[in-house]
């Protein structure tokens, strides 16, 4: 990977990556995709290699991050309604990274409860 590019986000498949890349390119932001062809040739290895990486030139990283946060999909409730942050009432909610602090959750990660994180204030909640 080149030193003047940073990974903005990861995608499981290249179609979603291409959509975001097209939007950023239209805004004059220099972007590249990494591992796109590998996953297109064998989609089953996407999780093994970490998905398609959307790279953004370091000079445009802040602008690209702002645009991506405006167009990305956020979590919805089971009824399809927006979830609100418990602290700031934002609807920009994502699934939080798992903590896996005990050996039990490392061996059986599917037992760990899903937690959400607000993309605005970074509050983690259930």
pLDDT digits (tens, 9 = 90+) for 63-103: 999 999 989 888 888 888 989 998 998 999 988 876 667 78
According to the model, what pLDDT value does residue 111 have? 75
What whole-number distance in Å separates Cα of residue 49 and Cα of residue 57? 22
Instruction: Name the residue among 126, 4, 24 with its Cα closest to residue 68.
Output: 24
pTM: 0.71
According to the model, what pLDDT value does residue 34 have? 95
Residues ≥6 apart with Cβ < 8 Å to 59: 30
9-53 residue pLDDT tens: 999 999 999 999 999 999 999 999 999 999 999 988 888 888 999
According to the model, what pLDDT value does residue 29 have? 97
User: What SS3 string covers 30-95?
Assistant: CEEEECHHHHHHCHHHHHHHCCEEEEEEHHHHHHHHHHHHHHCCCCECCCCCECCCCCCCCCCEEE
According to the model, what pLDDT value does residue 33 have? 96
């Amino acid at each position: 990977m080149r030193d003047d590019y940073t990974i903005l986000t990861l995608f499981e498949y290249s179609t979603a990556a291409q959509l975001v890349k097209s939007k950023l390119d239209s805004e004059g932001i220099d972007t590249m995709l990494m591992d796109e062809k590998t996953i297109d040739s064998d989609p089953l290895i996407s999780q093994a290699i970490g998905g398609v990486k959307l790279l953004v030139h370091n000079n445009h990283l802040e602008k690209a991050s702002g645009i991506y946060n405006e167009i990305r999909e956020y979590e919805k409730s089971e009824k399809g309604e927006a979830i609100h942050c418990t602290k700031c009432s934002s609807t920009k909610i994502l699934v939080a990274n798992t903590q896996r602090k005990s050996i039990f959750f490392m061996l059986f990660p599917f037992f760990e409860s899903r937690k959400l994180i607000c993309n605005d204030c970074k509050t983690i909640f259930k």
